[in-house]
Structure 1
């Protein structure tokens, strides 16, 4: 706010009044002569009302006295000197000073004084007319501005990564400070330059618009990213006001947000990448709330569940989970929501939109917020329906006979063991039936194995029809079946067994030709009469009864009788067990070898090792006399281990002499699941430094392998890792198993001799051989034909592409020691210390 006052010295009041009538400022008049004394300059002749208001003097106190009386005491000396000099030279006086009494505080004002010469101030006397303008508010504003600028400089100097600028009303820079200003600009050179120098061409319009808005009192923000800056600035603009709120200009504060923007860009990129991965992932992914509600799902999850995205994102995991799996799902979700676990894995079923269940593997991971509290879940969902079906098939194959679909021996033994435990707890009840077909060998010998397979399938169907759902029917192997009756006593067991015998006889009566009436069944029954009877004893008892039925004329049922006669039979079985154990202890098992010949070169490819037992009199006992007992009483695995160890010893002995000895060894179905056998093979091969593991072929019958696919697969894979080979023996004996070839990693396919023996005259046999050769060749496997009886068969096998042959015509079995001859000790290579230690270790291991 500015006000003016005027005063005149030594002139008539009318002149002063005339002047005052045109004046808008305080004024006075003074005569020329009154200015000659420096001690009392400017005797006032006239003052206006504004003068009186500014100085606080009444006209009575002011007129006739010097005008310096109104000047602030601290300014009087300076003003007096300047006034005296000026008036003495007839020049006008101009200056800024303070008026008023300092003791009055707020009455002190800053004024701007100007004087002009007047020829006549009254009576023809010259003088001066003075004009006073109040600039107190302007001075205060300027001080405020200077103080504010000092503060801004101080703030900006201590504000890293920032720039501070003040713009005037023309948007020119009046102040430019800060770290960024010093590094990116020359601040002094930009003073009074347009604010546009701070921005790039594309950013200038937005910056100008925001600055103009600030002049109107509107705050604004723009972002600058010009090459000149070399960084990204977030600029905030607002009005720059004085203490009374009047807008003096624009305050501009820029903050370096380069790191933040780069981080934001990286985050956006990561989010885009996550969204892309999320959406295009081949497995289902969902963002799930802690309450189980689906917040976001990808396309794969919609494919798995059959629901649309909009449908899933309105529901919860609970809704799409199979009712039987809700507990498992709820427990996993609760553990994550409570923070007890960071991740959970579970397999369960979802309900497809069409209603059928879908097996899924779920991996749920907990995501926490910035306060480390559970926030939401990332759930990955993989459709494992096919895998579960395959596993179910494998489990079914592991426990079921592939030809008849009945439970196999393994599954039946588990059921029998369960019945034994039930009897121990609740008392004797139920019975075990062992059934063997009479005349089955005749079917195989006359019509072939395919006819035998058809008969077995037919018998299995007949037996199923005659049994209750609570009864357990199984095929133990070959033409032997077993039935477990969980309830009932002797009479009920007799009724059931007799019905089975009659059903098979009736089935056989309907067969055509020579088979009519030839197929019957012999059934042995053992009752659960003692809660101390084991499952092994039950099998032995039922076996004995079944052989009683055969010896009594077949086609009948016999019960196990705990009498002297049966005791003698049991004793005979146990004597055989003792003989086998004793022969193992005394190392009275020997190996014979039969050559397997390359049909193209007619050279021995390897030898198959066959076991014989030597009795106490030194006579050879054929395997048919003791292997059945060995299998029944779980001695066969011990025999398999012994044979393999002997085989590797012979291979090492011959290898050390420079004569490699490739061999194949038969392994029973029981040994397929024997981890100790694999450990023995691995350890013995590691010690045998002169044995190539590829020269060791382990043979397992096709029916034994197919009866336990998982065990056979594991066994074969481990053999392959050790460098050995697996041969499927008697292949073609079970036509129902062709499907499972792809699940058994084998190296050699031995064609069952049933198809080889008569192939020269039977075109069906030749077709089967050709088919098997095509299968093996397509899989990159080697074929071996068994029972090669003459040169004509050899020529036929060569035409069909069979690789190797085995049979009496090519070479009969003979003792392995005789085949190899004595070890030439004098020609034996010298052993290194390490080899000598290995040899000693082997001897210690053999006891």
Structure 2
């Protein structure tokens, strides 16, 4: 620490011996008073600390050295700068004495607040301080006490201020309470009012007036509740008498809540929830009234209840209400000895409307169809929407002896009602129905049985084609049981590897070479044997099992084709049939790609056969899929050409490579001139589009010769070979090899075949 020059002391020098004696005396006095004493010899920078000084900080006499650092090092770091500045100021003579309050560290690591005071005891002739003596007083407890006193004073002042504020606030609240209540009462959106003990309104707010359709308070004040109520409540009790009873209950119980039917100024009735609370207004009993208009809530509740029993789109009864209506009509038919008909109606191919025009258009069309059906309903009938595009129409009051005729007439009328087009803005759409019919009592006496039998009849009607109806017949149930049995067995067939592929060779009619094979699905059913596809494919398609079955066929056919190529027939094309249902699943492309990748088959050696019904899947989407397959080199053929819905426009736009003439046209080729003309036209049509033509079902040499004369390109049938298991196909190809060099060419054909 620097020690700048200080002004010389004004007092003359005293006798040294006397001064020393006085110094020791006063040190002893200070020690006895509990003050620590310190003596700093500035020239030598040594400091003597008294025992009290040291013990005050918890040190023994020998624990602290007699130097300035022993003091400086124990001053709290946060206080040191100000303390040293106070010392400097006194040494320089800027203050009459040194004084500092600071913290010092004790031996145990704790801190004590110290009052440090001192004065320069000697200065030299130049005024430079030579010796500084001072006292060291522990004021920790004093400061704590002062802090407590300050805290108590502050707390007392705070409490006085708070109490004063409370008194002021209470006075202000008291002055403003009536005004606040008036504003709250008037401005709240909650309808409120006050009634006296006699049941007369004494105050109402604006929300109450708006709810009741009144213009000013005078229209209600002084009146009683029956003034804004209908003469009677929903329970048929007088509004006036019941209001008095409700008020008495509120006074007796302290509060009472209830629903009340009110009357607006315009005569409209509405329900409200009322809460009456008994209050004491300066000794006068009154009722505080809280009104809650339940109009919206009741309307919402009614809507929920309506939707629980009605279809939201059409407004028709739903399945729940429809079944209840069926039960009622059944009971009436039993009592009256009448017949009854349950009609299960389903819109034909309605999915195509949604796929083509979107669900919004589909919903509008469906709603108009429902309206036309409802127009056909008589008072004795019941109509409901089941789900999706299905309805149930129950025809009541049917004569037992004329039931079939009477219901047939109604079905014809229903179908005819849909004949006119439906107009939706700029669109003109057509719709048709298929109907299944079950009659009470011959087809069932219970609602569930009649609905089930009508649904069974519907499936037969749809199988016959759109816009038709069928009455239930007992043998239909047997067919249904066969369907269910076959469907369940097909599930097991997929799980237990009961499906197999047979392969039928396809030959080029110009060269006689084998150009490919068609994969044909068979089912090796345990306990039955080999099941032909005609007996299980329709079940698979209707149940949706055709999708996993088709996936398996693709994978197995591609695997077998790769095996044939590896065995020495690298140019054979594998033809695989695709179902329209597979296209609707939107993962057919993935299935094809996975089959090719897993087998390693060249895409150019895969031919995918599309039935003409596939063309109804949606031309735009179909074109995109076929274009992507064509780009990969996959061959495309239209199977059973001439039996479905295709036309010249499809042949022009769709990227197919081949047409397959259905065996039905080939069978009578030699005897039916009309069939012969049709086949000739098909061949010429296909060739005009640059397509190859393959004839299916060739059974004899005469058919083959006729097809060759017409210019047909390829053929398959039992004349060459029936569909063969993979091992037998290998032997057939080897036998053909023994007669000609089959399968060794790497071109588009495998080589010449043997002819029978």
The TM-score with structure 1 as length reference comes to 0.35
* Structure number with bigger Rg: 1
The TM-score with structure 2 as length reference comes to 0.39
